[in-house]
Chains A and B, each alone.
Chain A
Amino acid sequence: MAKTILIVDDSASIRQVVGLTLKGAGYDVVDAVDGRDALGKLDGRKLHLVISDVNMPNMDGISFVREMKVRPAYKFTPVIMLTTEAGEAKKRDGQMAGAKAWVVKPFQPAQMLDAVSKLIMP
Protein backbone atom coordinates (compact mmCIF):
# COMPACT_ATOMS: atom_id res chain seq x y z
CA MET A 1 0.00 0.00 0.00
CA ALA A 2 1.37 3.40 -1.00
CA LYS A 3 2.51 5.75 1.76
CA THR A 4 0.78 9.11 2.11
CA ILE A 5 2.54 12.48 2.20
CA LEU A 6 0.88 15.83 3.07
CA ILE A 7 2.15 18.81 1.05
CA VAL A 8 1.49 22.27 2.52
CA ASP A 9 2.29 25.26 0.30
CA ASP A 10 0.41 28.37 -0.78
CA SER A 11 2.00 28.18 -4.23
CA ALA A 12 -0.06 26.03 -6.57
CA SER A 13 2.94 25.47 -8.83
CA ILE A 14 5.04 24.18 -5.93
CA ARG A 15 2.24 21.87 -4.81
CA GLN A 16 2.06 20.65 -8.39
CA VAL A 17 5.78 19.94 -8.85
CA VAL A 18 6.20 18.36 -5.41
CA GLY A 19 3.13 16.21 -6.04
CA LEU A 20 4.45 15.26 -9.45
CA THR A 21 7.78 14.23 -7.97
CA LEU A 22 6.23 12.17 -5.18
CA LYS A 23 3.51 10.53 -7.26
CA GLY A 24 6.15 9.54 -9.82
CA ALA A 25 7.92 7.66 -7.01
CA GLY A 26 4.74 5.86 -6.00
CA TYR A 27 3.58 7.93 -3.03
CA ASP A 28 0.03 9.09 -2.40
CA VAL A 29 -0.29 12.84 -1.95
CA VAL A 30 -2.64 15.07 0.04
CA ASP A 31 -2.19 18.84 -0.26
CA ALA A 32 -3.15 21.97 1.66
CA VAL A 33 -2.86 25.67 0.72
CA ASP A 34 -1.64 26.94 4.11
CA GLY A 35 -1.13 25.92 7.73
CA ARG A 36 -4.77 26.36 8.68
CA ASP A 37 -5.93 24.27 5.76
CA ALA A 38 -3.31 21.65 6.66
CA LEU A 39 -4.60 21.40 10.26
CA GLY A 40 -7.99 20.56 8.77
CA LYS A 41 -6.35 17.64 6.93
CA LEU A 42 -5.12 16.14 10.23
CA ASP A 43 -8.38 14.29 10.63
CA GLY A 44 -6.99 10.99 11.85
CA ARG A 45 -5.79 9.77 8.49
CA LYS A 46 -2.42 8.06 8.40
CA LEU A 47 0.30 10.43 7.21
CA HIS A 48 3.78 9.02 6.73
CA LEU A 49 5.46 12.38 6.11
CA VAL A 50 4.66 16.11 5.88
CA ILE A 51 6.38 18.59 3.53
CA SER A 52 5.56 22.17 4.47
CA ASP A 53 6.42 25.65 3.23
CA VAL A 54 7.31 28.29 5.86
CA ASN A 55 5.87 31.59 4.65
CA MET A 56 2.16 31.18 4.02
CA PRO A 57 -0.96 33.28 4.62
CA ASN A 58 -3.37 32.52 7.50
CA MET A 59 -0.95 30.22 9.28
CA ASP A 60 2.79 29.88 8.57
CA GLY A 61 4.59 26.57 8.37
CA ILE A 62 6.41 26.82 11.70
CA SER A 63 3.16 27.46 13.58
CA PHE A 64 1.48 24.62 11.72
CA VAL A 65 4.23 22.16 12.70
CA ARG A 66 3.98 23.27 16.35
CA GLU A 67 0.22 22.70 16.28
CA MET A 68 0.62 19.36 14.54
CA LYS A 69 3.15 18.08 17.04
CA VAL A 70 0.79 18.54 19.99
CA ARG A 71 -1.68 16.16 18.41
CA PRO A 72 -0.88 12.61 19.60
CA ALA A 73 -1.69 10.97 16.26
CA TYR A 74 0.87 13.14 14.47
CA LYS A 75 3.45 13.70 17.17
CA PHE A 76 5.98 11.41 15.49
CA THR A 77 5.12 12.21 11.87
CA PRO A 78 8.35 13.47 10.28
CA VAL A 79 8.30 16.95 8.72
CA ILE A 80 10.43 18.43 5.96
CA MET A 81 10.35 22.22 5.69
CA LEU A 82 10.51 23.30 2.03
CA THR A 83 11.15 27.01 1.68
CA THR A 84 13.08 29.81 0.02
CA GLU A 85 14.28 30.86 3.47
CA ALA A 86 17.93 29.97 4.03
CA GLY A 87 18.53 31.95 7.24
CA GLU A 88 19.92 30.09 10.26
CA ALA A 89 17.43 31.71 12.65
CA LYS A 90 14.49 30.40 10.68
CA LYS A 91 16.10 26.97 10.47
CA ARG A 92 16.44 26.92 14.26
CA ASP A 93 12.76 27.85 14.54
CA GLY A 94 11.88 24.94 12.29
CA GLN A 95 14.05 22.54 14.26
CA MET A 96 12.56 23.72 17.55
CA ALA A 97 9.06 23.25 16.15
CA GLY A 98 9.88 19.62 15.36
CA ALA A 99 10.98 19.53 11.72
CA LYS A 100 13.47 16.84 10.71
CA ALA A 101 14.93 18.51 7.62
CA TRP A 102 15.15 21.92 5.96
CA VAL A 103 15.13 22.00 2.15
CA VAL A 104 15.73 25.27 0.31
CA LYS A 105 13.82 25.75 -2.93
CA PRO A 106 14.39 25.00 -5.70
CA PHE A 107 14.87 21.30 -5.06
CA GLN A 108 16.18 18.59 -7.34
CA PRO A 109 13.56 15.79 -7.55
CA ALA A 110 16.12 13.02 -6.96
CA GLN A 111 17.52 14.71 -3.86
CA MET A 112 14.06 15.43 -2.50
CA LEU A 113 13.10 11.77 -2.97
CA ASP A 114 16.31 10.75 -1.24
CA ALA A 115 15.44 12.93 1.77
CA VAL A 116 11.88 11.59 1.78
CA SER A 117 13.05 7.97 1.73
CA LYS A 118 15.39 8.67 4.64
CA LEU A 119 12.72 10.24 6.83
CA ILE A 120 9.41 8.64 5.89
CA MET A 121 7.72 6.47 8.50
CA PRO A 122 7.74 2.73 7.88
Chain B
Amino acid sequence: MSTVTTNDHRIAGLAWALCAGLGLLGAAAAAFPGAAASPLWAGGVGVAGVLAGGFLAAMVRTALAAARREAEAACPPPPGVAGLDALCGQVLPIWNRQIETARSQTETSLVDLAACFGDIHQRLDAALGLYRSSTGRLSDSGGEDDVMAMLEQGQNDLSAMLSSLRAGIRAKQAMLERIREVAGFSDELKAMADSVSALANQTNLVALNAAIEAAWVGESGRGFAVIADEVRKLSILSGDTGKQITARVDGVTHAIYDAVRIAEQYADQDARAMRDSERLIEGVLNVFRGAVGHLTEAATRFQHEGRAVQETVSGVIVSLQFQDRVSQILRQTMDDMARLENLLDERSEGGARGEAAAPIDVAAWLDELSRTYTTLEQLDNHLGTQSSAPAKATEITFF
Protein backbone atom coordinates (compact mmCIF):
# COMPACT_ATOMS: atom_id res chain seq x y z
CA MET B 1 0.00 0.00 0.00
CA SER B 2 1.31 3.54 -0.84
CA THR B 3 2.14 5.61 2.22
CA VAL B 4 1.63 8.95 0.46
CA THR B 5 -1.92 9.56 -0.66
CA THR B 6 -3.56 12.21 -2.85
CA ASN B 7 -4.72 14.03 0.25
CA ASP B 8 -1.12 14.16 1.50
CA HIS B 9 -0.11 15.82 -1.73
CA ARG B 10 -2.95 18.33 -1.38
CA ILE B 11 -1.93 19.24 2.20
CA ALA B 12 1.73 19.49 1.20
CA GLY B 13 0.72 21.65 -1.79
CA LEU B 14 -1.23 23.99 0.49
CA ALA B 15 1.81 24.32 2.84
CA TRP B 16 4.04 25.05 -0.10
CA ALA B 17 1.57 27.59 -1.52
CA LEU B 18 1.29 29.27 1.92
CA CYS B 19 5.08 29.69 2.30
CA ALA B 20 5.50 30.71 -1.32
CA GLY B 21 2.66 33.26 -0.91
CA LEU B 22 4.26 34.70 2.25
CA GLY B 23 7.62 34.95 0.44
CA LEU B 24 6.05 36.65 -2.55
CA LEU B 25 4.13 38.99 -0.18
CA GLY B 26 7.38 39.86 1.59
CA ALA B 27 9.04 40.48 -1.74
CA ALA B 28 6.18 42.73 -2.82
CA ALA B 29 6.40 44.69 0.44
CA ALA B 30 10.16 45.14 0.04
CA ALA B 31 9.75 46.30 -3.54
CA PHE B 32 6.95 48.70 -2.66
CA PRO B 33 7.90 52.36 -3.47
CA GLY B 34 9.01 54.06 -0.38
CA ALA B 35 10.16 50.90 1.32
CA ALA B 36 13.65 50.77 2.71
CA ALA B 37 14.54 47.51 1.07
CA SER B 38 15.98 47.33 -2.42
CA PRO B 39 14.44 45.29 -5.30
CA LEU B 40 17.25 42.78 -4.98
CA TRP B 41 16.24 42.24 -1.37
CA ALA B 42 12.63 41.85 -2.36
CA GLY B 43 13.55 39.18 -4.97
CA GLY B 44 15.64 37.36 -2.41
CA VAL B 45 12.74 37.34 0.05
CA GLY B 46 10.43 35.91 -2.64
CA VAL B 47 12.84 33.14 -3.66
CA ALA B 48 13.44 32.33 0.00
CA GLY B 49 9.67 32.11 0.53
CA VAL B 50 9.23 29.73 -2.41
CA LEU B 51 12.12 27.55 -1.26
CA ALA B 52 10.82 27.57 2.29
CA GLY B 53 7.39 26.62 1.00
CA GLY B 54 8.85 23.68 -0.95
CA PHE B 55 10.84 22.54 2.07
CA LEU B 56 7.81 22.88 4.31
CA ALA B 57 5.64 20.94 1.86
CA ALA B 58 8.16 18.10 1.75
CA MET B 59 8.29 18.06 5.52
CA VAL B 60 4.49 17.99 5.74
CA ARG B 61 4.27 15.08 3.27
CA THR B 62 6.85 13.10 5.19
CA ALA B 63 5.15 13.79 8.51
CA LEU B 64 1.70 12.84 7.16
CA ALA B 65 2.99 9.62 5.66
CA ALA B 66 4.65 8.67 8.90
CA ALA B 67 1.49 9.51 10.83
CA ARG B 68 -0.55 7.38 8.40
CA ARG B 69 1.76 4.43 8.75
CA GLU B 70 1.47 4.66 12.50
CA ALA B 71 -2.30 4.97 12.31
CA GLU B 72 -2.56 1.97 9.99
CA ALA B 73 -0.33 -0.06 12.26
CA ALA B 74 -2.45 0.83 15.27
CA CYS B 75 -5.85 0.27 13.60
CA PRO B 76 -5.99 -1.59 10.22
CA PRO B 77 -8.56 -0.30 7.75
CA PRO B 78 -11.76 -2.39 7.23
CA PRO B 79 -11.47 -4.94 4.38
CA GLY B 80 -13.13 -4.13 1.08
CA VAL B 81 -12.65 -2.37 -2.13
CA ALA B 82 -14.15 1.00 -2.81
CA GLY B 83 -17.06 0.67 -5.25
CA LEU B 84 -17.37 -3.10 -4.80
CA ASP B 85 -20.89 -2.80 -3.38
CA ALA B 86 -22.03 -0.78 -6.35
CA LEU B 87 -20.30 -3.14 -8.74
CA CYS B 88 -21.93 -6.16 -7.11
CA GLY B 89 -25.30 -4.46 -7.21
CA GLN B 90 -24.95 -4.06 -10.95
CA VAL B 91 -23.13 -7.21 -11.90
CA LEU B 92 -24.89 -9.79 -9.74
CA PRO B 93 -28.25 -9.50 -11.55
CA ILE B 94 -26.41 -9.77 -14.84
CA TRP B 95 -24.57 -12.89 -13.74
CA ASN B 96 -27.86 -14.27 -12.45
CA ARG B 97 -29.58 -13.72 -15.78
CA GLN B 98 -26.64 -15.21 -17.69
CA ILE B 99 -26.67 -18.34 -15.54
CA GLU B 100 -30.45 -18.66 -15.84
CA THR B 101 -30.23 -18.31 -19.61
CA ALA B 102 -27.54 -21.00 -19.81
CA ARG B 103 -29.52 -23.21 -17.43
CA SER B 104 -32.82 -22.85 -19.27
CA GLN B 105 -31.20 -23.31 -22.68
CA THR B 106 -29.49 -26.47 -21.47
CA GLU B 107 -32.74 -27.68 -19.98
CA THR B 108 -34.64 -27.04 -23.21
CA SER B 109 -31.98 -28.77 -25.29
CA LEU B 110 -31.93 -31.76 -22.98
CA VAL B 111 -35.69 -32.07 -23.09
CA ASP B 112 -35.46 -32.15 -26.89
CA LEU B 113 -32.59 -34.62 -26.66
CA ALA B 114 -34.56 -36.83 -24.28
CA ALA B 115 -37.51 -36.71 -26.68
CA CYS B 116 -35.23 -37.77 -29.56
CA PHE B 117 -33.81 -40.67 -27.56
CA GLY B 118 -37.30 -41.61 -26.48
CA ASP B 119 -38.33 -41.72 -30.11
CA ILE B 120 -35.30 -43.86 -30.98
CA HIS B 121 -36.12 -46.19 -28.08
CA GLN B 122 -39.74 -46.60 -29.13
CA ARG B 123 -38.89 -47.08 -32.81
CA LEU B 124 -36.29 -49.69 -31.89
CA ASP B 125 -38.83 -51.50 -29.74
CA ALA B 126 -41.33 -51.43 -32.58
CA ALA B 127 -38.73 -52.67 -35.09
CA LEU B 128 -37.66 -55.51 -32.83
CA GLY B 129 -41.28 -56.49 -32.19
CA LEU B 130 -42.06 -56.47 -35.90
CA TYR B 131 -38.93 -58.47 -36.63
CA ARG B 132 -39.86 -61.05 -34.00
CA SER B 133 -43.32 -61.55 -35.44
CA SER B 134 -42.18 -61.58 -39.09
CA THR B 135 -39.38 -64.10 -38.57
CA GLY B 136 -41.52 -66.57 -36.72
CA ARG B 137 -40.30 -65.64 -33.30
CA LEU B 138 -36.67 -66.16 -34.27
CA SER B 139 -35.53 -63.72 -31.65
CA ASP B 140 -35.52 -65.97 -28.65
CA SER B 141 -33.78 -69.29 -28.14
CA GLY B 142 -36.84 -71.24 -29.25
CA GLY B 143 -37.17 -69.38 -32.53
CA GLU B 144 -34.52 -71.32 -34.37
CA ASP B 145 -35.96 -74.55 -33.00
CA ASP B 146 -39.36 -73.55 -34.39
CA VAL B 147 -37.98 -73.05 -37.87
CA MET B 148 -35.88 -76.21 -37.69
CA ALA B 149 -38.98 -78.12 -36.59
CA MET B 150 -40.82 -76.67 -39.56
CA LEU B 151 -37.96 -77.81 -41.81
CA GLU B 152 -38.03 -81.25 -40.28
CA GLN B 153 -41.76 -81.44 -40.83
CA GLY B 154 -41.23 -80.53 -44.49
CA GLN B 155 -38.51 -83.13 -44.78
CA ASN B 156 -40.79 -85.75 -43.23
CA ASP B 157 -43.60 -84.84 -45.61
CA LEU B 158 -41.26 -85.11 -48.58
CA SER B 159 -39.90 -88.42 -47.27
CA ALA B 160 -43.46 -89.72 -46.98
CA MET B 161 -44.07 -88.67 -50.56
CA LEU B 162 -40.91 -90.49 -51.67
CA SER B 163 -42.04 -93.56 -49.72
CA SER B 164 -45.33 -93.50 -51.59
CA LEU B 165 -43.45 -93.30 -54.86
CA ARG B 166 -41.21 -96.19 -53.82
CA ALA B 167 -44.31 -98.22 -52.93
CA GLY B 168 -45.70 -97.48 -56.39
CA ILE B 169 -42.47 -98.64 -58.00
CA ARG B 170 -42.49 -101.81 -55.92
CA ALA B 171 -46.10 -102.47 -57.03
CA LYS B 172 -45.02 -102.04 -60.64
CA GLN B 173 -42.16 -104.45 -60.10
CA ALA B 174 -44.57 -107.00 -58.60
CA MET B 175 -46.85 -106.60 -61.57
CA LEU B 176 -43.83 -107.08 -63.83
CA GLU B 177 -43.00 -110.31 -62.07
CA ARG B 178 -46.57 -111.49 -62.61
CA ILE B 179 -46.29 -110.61 -66.29
CA ARG B 180 -43.04 -112.55 -66.47
CA GLU B 181 -44.88 -115.52 -64.93
CA VAL B 182 -47.62 -115.12 -67.54
CA ALA B 183 -44.87 -115.15 -70.20
CA GLY B 184 -43.73 -118.45 -68.68
CA PHE B 185 -47.28 -119.80 -69.00
CA SER B 186 -47.33 -118.89 -72.68
CA ASP B 187 -44.34 -121.18 -73.26
CA GLU B 188 -46.31 -124.00 -71.65
CA LEU B 189 -49.31 -123.15 -73.79
CA LYS B 190 -47.10 -123.24 -76.85
CA ALA B 191 -45.81 -126.69 -75.87
CA MET B 192 -49.36 -127.87 -75.29
CA ALA B 193 -50.36 -126.55 -78.71
CA ASP B 194 -47.40 -128.42 -80.21
CA SER B 195 -48.60 -131.56 -78.46
CA VAL B 196 -52.04 -131.07 -79.95
CA SER B 197 -50.45 -130.77 -83.43
CA ALA B 198 -48.38 -133.90 -82.83
CA LEU B 199 -51.47 -135.83 -81.65
CA ALA B 200 -53.35 -134.67 -84.73
CA ASN B 201 -50.56 -135.90 -86.99
CA GLN B 202 -50.51 -139.22 -85.28
CA THR B 203 -54.32 -139.46 -85.39
CA ASN B 204 -54.16 -138.63 -89.08
CA LEU B 205 -51.60 -141.39 -89.56
CA VAL B 206 -53.76 -143.85 -87.61
CA ALA B 207 -56.81 -142.83 -89.68
CA LEU B 208 -54.84 -143.35 -92.86
CA ASN B 209 -53.80 -146.82 -91.78
CA ALA B 210 -57.42 -147.58 -90.84
CA ALA B 211 -58.56 -146.51 -94.33
CA ILE B 212 -55.95 -148.81 -95.91
CA GLU B 213 -57.09 -151.66 -93.71
CA ALA B 214 -60.72 -150.91 -94.63
CA ALA B 215 -59.85 -151.04 -98.33
CA TRP B 216 -58.33 -154.47 -97.82
CA VAL B 217 -61.55 -155.76 -96.29
CA GLY B 218 -63.56 -154.61 -99.32
CA GLU B 219 -67.28 -153.80 -99.42
CA SER B 220 -67.77 -154.73 -95.79
CA GLY B 221 -65.06 -152.29 -94.79
CA ARG B 222 -66.61 -149.39 -96.65
CA GLY B 223 -68.34 -147.98 -93.60
CA PHE B 224 -65.16 -148.24 -91.56
CA ALA B 225 -63.33 -146.46 -94.42
CA VAL B 226 -65.83 -143.57 -94.12
CA ILE B 227 -65.18 -143.36 -90.40
CA ALA B 228 -61.45 -143.49 -90.94
CA ASP B 229 -61.73 -140.70 -93.45
CA GLU B 230 -63.73 -138.57 -91.01
CA VAL B 231 -61.19 -139.20 -88.29
CA ARG B 232 -58.43 -138.16 -90.68
CA LYS B 233 -60.34 -134.95 -91.48
CA LEU B 234 -60.75 -134.26 -87.75
CA SER B 235 -57.07 -134.88 -87.16
CA ILE B 236 -56.22 -132.48 -89.94
CA LEU B 237 -58.53 -129.92 -88.35
CA SER B 238 -56.95 -130.57 -84.94
CA GLY B 239 -53.50 -130.09 -86.46
CA ASP B 240 -54.57 -126.83 -88.02
CA THR B 241 -56.10 -125.70 -84.75
CA GLY B 242 -52.87 -126.64 -82.91
CA LYS B 243 -50.90 -124.57 -85.41
CA GLN B 244 -53.27 -121.65 -84.95
CA ILE B 245 -52.95 -121.97 -81.15
CA THR B 246 -49.17 -122.02 -81.47
CA ALA B 247 -49.26 -118.93 -83.67
CA ARG B 248 -51.57 -117.15 -81.24
CA VAL B 249 -49.44 -118.17 -78.28
CA ASP B 250 -46.33 -116.92 -80.10
CA GLY B 251 -48.11 -113.60 -80.73
CA VAL B 252 -49.22 -113.29 -77.14
CA THR B 253 -45.78 -114.31 -75.89
CA HIS B 254 -44.11 -111.64 -78.03
CA ALA B 255 -46.60 -109.06 -76.81
CA ILE B 256 -45.97 -110.04 -73.19
CA TYR B 257 -42.20 -109.91 -73.60
CA ASP B 258 -42.53 -106.52 -75.30
CA ALA B 259 -44.66 -105.36 -72.35
CA VAL B 260 -42.08 -106.73 -69.88
CA ARG B 261 -39.26 -104.96 -71.73
CA ILE B 262 -41.12 -101.69 -71.78
CA ALA B 263 -42.10 -102.09 -68.11
CA GLU B 264 -38.48 -102.77 -67.22
CA GLN B 265 -37.44 -99.61 -69.07
CA TYR B 266 -40.03 -97.63 -67.12
CA ALA B 267 -38.88 -99.26 -63.90
CA ASP B 268 -35.32 -98.10 -64.59
CA GLN B 269 -36.59 -94.64 -65.37
CA ASP B 270 -38.62 -94.67 -62.15
CA ALA B 271 -35.58 -95.75 -60.16
CA ARG B 272 -33.45 -93.00 -61.69
CA ALA B 273 -36.24 -90.45 -61.15
CA MET B 274 -36.49 -91.59 -57.53
CA ARG B 275 -32.75 -91.20 -56.96
CA ASP B 276 -32.81 -87.78 -58.70
CA SER B 277 -35.80 -86.70 -56.60
CA GLU B 278 -34.10 -87.75 -53.39
CA ARG B 279 -30.94 -85.84 -54.31
CA LEU B 280 -32.98 -82.80 -55.38
CA ILE B 281 -35.07 -82.78 -52.22
CA GLU B 282 -31.99 -83.20 -50.05
CA GLY B 283 -30.30 -80.37 -51.95
CA VAL B 284 -33.31 -78.08 -51.52
CA LEU B 285 -33.50 -78.91 -47.83
CA ASN B 286 -29.79 -78.22 -47.43
CA VAL B 287 -30.16 -74.86 -49.15
CA PHE B 288 -33.15 -74.12 -46.94
CA ARG B 289 -31.24 -75.17 -43.83
CA GLY B 290 -28.36 -72.90 -44.86
CA ALA B 291 -30.75 -70.00 -45.48
CA VAL B 292 -32.43 -70.57 -42.14
CA GLY B 293 -29.01 -70.73 -40.49
CA HIS B 294 -28.04 -67.39 -42.02
CA LEU B 295 -31.43 -65.93 -41.16
CA THR B 296 -31.15 -67.15 -37.60
CA GLU B 297 -27.64 -65.78 -37.29
CA ALA B 298 -28.79 -62.45 -38.70
CA ALA B 299 -31.77 -62.44 -36.35
CA THR B 300 -29.56 -63.22 -33.38
CA ARG B 301 -27.14 -60.50 -34.41
CA PHE B 302 -30.00 -58.04 -34.92
CA GLN B 303 -31.36 -58.91 -31.49
CA HIS B 304 -27.93 -58.51 -29.94
CA GLU B 305 -27.34 -55.16 -31.61
CA GLY B 306 -30.85 -54.04 -30.73
CA ARG B 307 -30.34 -54.88 -27.09
CA ALA B 308 -26.96 -53.10 -27.14
CA VAL B 309 -28.62 -49.97 -28.54
CA GLN B 310 -31.35 -50.21 -25.91
CA GLU B 311 -28.72 -50.45 -23.19
CA THR B 312 -26.94 -47.44 -24.67
CA VAL B 313 -30.19 -45.49 -24.69
CA SER B 314 -30.72 -46.50 -21.05
CA GLY B 315 -27.26 -45.12 -20.32
CA VAL B 316 -28.22 -41.92 -22.08
CA ILE B 317 -31.36 -41.74 -19.95
CA VAL B 318 -29.18 -41.92 -16.84
CA SER B 319 -26.82 -39.26 -18.19
CA LEU B 320 -29.68 -36.94 -19.08
CA GLN B 321 -30.73 -36.88 -15.44
CA PHE B 322 -27.52 -35.07 -14.53
CA GLN B 323 -29.10 -31.98 -16.01
CA ASP B 324 -31.39 -31.96 -12.98
CA ARG B 325 -28.42 -32.01 -10.60
CA VAL B 326 -26.66 -29.29 -12.61
CA SER B 327 -29.85 -27.26 -12.69
CA GLN B 328 -30.27 -27.54 -8.92
CA ILE B 329 -26.66 -26.49 -8.29
CA LEU B 330 -27.03 -23.50 -10.62
CA ARG B 331 -30.39 -22.50 -9.11
CA GLN B 332 -28.99 -22.68 -5.62
CA THR B 333 -26.00 -20.55 -6.66
CA MET B 334 -28.35 -18.06 -8.32
CA ASP B 335 -30.49 -17.91 -5.19
CA ASP B 336 -27.43 -17.13 -3.10
CA MET B 337 -26.31 -14.45 -5.55
CA ALA B 338 -29.78 -12.93 -5.32
CA ARG B 339 -29.53 -13.05 -1.54
CA LEU B 340 -26.22 -11.15 -1.71
CA GLU B 341 -27.76 -8.66 -4.13
CA ASN B 342 -30.65 -8.04 -1.72
CA LEU B 343 -28.26 -7.54 1.15
CA LEU B 344 -26.24 -5.00 -0.81
CA ASP B 345 -29.42 -3.18 -1.80
CA GLU B 346 -30.52 -3.01 1.85
CA ARG B 347 -27.11 -1.71 2.96
CA SER B 348 -27.07 0.82 0.15
CA GLU B 349 -30.52 2.09 1.11
CA GLY B 350 -29.49 2.18 4.77
CA GLY B 351 -26.37 4.13 3.85
CA ALA B 352 -28.49 6.61 1.90
CA ARG B 353 -30.58 7.13 5.02
CA GLY B 354 -27.37 7.72 7.01
CA GLU B 355 -27.60 4.45 8.90
CA ALA B 356 -24.34 2.80 9.89
CA ALA B 357 -23.96 -0.59 8.17
CA ALA B 358 -23.34 -3.48 10.53
CA PRO B 359 -20.49 -5.82 9.52
CA ILE B 360 -21.59 -8.83 7.48
CA ASP B 361 -21.60 -12.06 9.48
CA VAL B 362 -19.71 -14.21 7.00
CA ALA B 363 -19.92 -17.36 9.14
CA ALA B 364 -23.72 -17.06 9.46
CA TRP B 365 -23.99 -16.44 5.74
CA LEU B 366 -21.97 -19.58 4.92
CA ASP B 367 -23.92 -21.60 7.46
CA GLU B 368 -27.23 -20.62 5.87
CA LEU B 369 -25.77 -21.32 2.44
CA SER B 370 -24.73 -24.83 3.46
CA ARG B 371 -28.27 -25.61 4.64
CA THR B 372 -29.64 -25.08 1.13
CA TYR B 373 -27.56 -27.82 -0.49
CA THR B 374 -29.27 -30.91 -1.84
CA THR B 375 -26.35 -32.81 -3.36
CA LEU B 376 -23.12 -34.13 -1.94
CA GLU B 377 -21.17 -32.32 -4.67
CA GLN B 378 -22.43 -28.97 -3.36
CA LEU B 379 -21.32 -29.80 0.17
CA ASP B 380 -17.94 -30.96 -1.09
CA ASN B 381 -17.53 -27.74 -3.05
CA HIS B 382 -18.50 -25.74 0.00
CA LEU B 383 -15.94 -27.49 2.16
CA GLY B 384 -13.33 -27.37 -0.60
CA THR B 385 -12.90 -31.14 -0.49
CA GLN B 386 -12.69 -33.40 -3.50
CA SER B 387 -16.04 -33.53 -5.20
CA SER B 388 -18.02 -36.75 -4.77
CA ALA B 389 -19.03 -38.38 -8.02
CA PRO B 390 -22.75 -39.10 -8.14
CA ALA B 391 -23.53 -42.79 -7.74
CA LYS B 392 -23.84 -44.70 -11.00
CA ALA B 393 -26.08 -47.38 -9.53
CA THR B 394 -29.54 -46.41 -8.43
CA GLU B 395 -29.75 -45.82 -4.67
CA ILE B 396 -33.13 -47.10 -3.54
CA THR B 397 -34.43 -47.23 0.01
CA PHE B 398 -37.69 -49.06 0.64
CA PHE B 399 -39.64 -48.04 3.74
Nearest A residue to B390 via CB reads A106
Given contacts A85-B374, A106-B322, contact A101 B399 (CB under 8 A): yes
Contact: A24 with B125, CB < 8 Å?
yes
Contact: B395 with A86, CB < 8 Å?
yes
**Inter-chain contacts of B324 with A (CB < 8 A):** 9, 11, 13-14, 84, 105-106
**Inter-chain contacts of B101 with A (CB < 8 A):** none
Q: Which of A84, A109, A110 contacts B374 (CB 8 A)?
A: A84
Given contacts A16-B111, A16-B118, contact A21 B317 (CB under 8 A): yes
Complex Cα–Cα for A20 and B114 (A): 8
A18-40 interface with B by 8 A CB criterion: 19-21, 23-24
Complex Cα–Cα for A19 and B117 (A): 12
Complex Cα–Cα for A15 and B310 (A): 20
**Inter-chain contacts of A104 with B (CB < 8 A):** 391, 394-396
Contact with B along A37-76 (1 / 0, CB 8 A): 0000000000000000011000000000000000000000
B342-399 interface with A by 8 A CB criterion: 374-376, 390-391, 393-399
Contact: B397 with A16, CB < 8 Å?
no
Given contacts A14-B324, A86-B376, A108-B318, contact A103 B395 (CB under 8 A): yes
Contact: B394 with A111, CB < 8 Å?
yes
**Inter-chain contacts of A83 with B (CB < 8 A):** 374
Contact: B396 with A115, CB < 8 Å?
yes
**Inter-chain contacts of A13 with B (CB < 8 A):** 107, 110-111, 114, 320-321, 323-324
A72 to chain B, nearest CB (A): 22
Most chain B C-beta atoms within 10 Å of own C-beta, residue among A13, A16, A103, A110: A13
Complex Cα–Cα for A5 and B107 (A): 23
Contact: B374 with A24, CB < 8 Å?
no
Main secondary structure of the interface of B (DSSP, over half): helix
Given contacts A16-B114, A17-B320, A21-B317, contact A84 B375 (CB under 8 A): yes
**Inter-chain contacts of B396 with A (CB < 8 A):** 101-104, 111, 115
Contact: A106 with B399, CB < 8 Å?
no
Q: Which of A19, A105, A110 contacts B321 (CB 8 A)?
A: A105
Contact: B314 with A109, CB < 8 Å?
yes
Asked if B122 is at the interface of the complex by the 8 Å CB criterion, the answer is yes
Complex Cα–Cα for A99 and B354 (A): 53
Number of B interface residues in the complex (CB < 8 A): 35
Given contacts A17-B320, A106-B322, A108-B393, contact A84 B107 (CB under 8 A): no
Number of A interface residues in the complex (CB < 8 A): 37
Most chain A C-beta atoms within 10 Å of own C-beta, residue among B108, B117, B314, B397: B397
Given contacts A12-B107, A24-B122, A84-B328, contact A106 B321 (CB under 8 A): yes
A36 to chain B, nearest CB (A): 18
Nearest A residue to B119 via CB reads A20
Contact: A20 with B121, CB < 8 Å?
yes
B333 to chain A, nearest CB (A): 15
Complex Cα–Cα for A86 and B325 (A): 12
Complex Cα–Cα for A111 and B317 (A): 13
**Inter-chain contacts of A91 with B (CB < 8 A):** 397
Asked if B37 is at the interface of the complex by the 8 Å CB criterion, the answer is no
**Inter-chain contacts of B397 with A (CB < 8 A):** 91, 101-103
B120 to chain A, nearest CB (A): 10
**Inter-chain contacts of A109 with B (CB < 8 A):** 314, 317-318
Complex Cα–Cα for A11 and B125 (A): 26
Complex Cα–Cα for A106 and B324 (A): 9
**Inter-chain contacts of A85 with B (CB < 8 A):** 374-375
Most chain B C-beta atoms within 10 Å of own C-beta, residue among A9, A20, A21: A20
A sample of 6 more A-B contacts (CB under 8 A), given A11-B324, A84-B324, is A11-B327, A13-B320, A54-B374, A84-B328, A106-B324, A107-B318
8 pairs from A and B in contact (CB 8 Å cutoff): A11-B323, A12-B107, A13-B111, A16-B114, A85-B375, A100-B398, A104-B394, A115-B398
In the A-B complex, the 9 residue pairs with the smallest Cβ-Cβ separation, listed nearest first, are: A106-B321, A16-B114, A111-B394, A104-B395, A20-B118, A102-B397, A13-B110, A11-B324, A107-B394
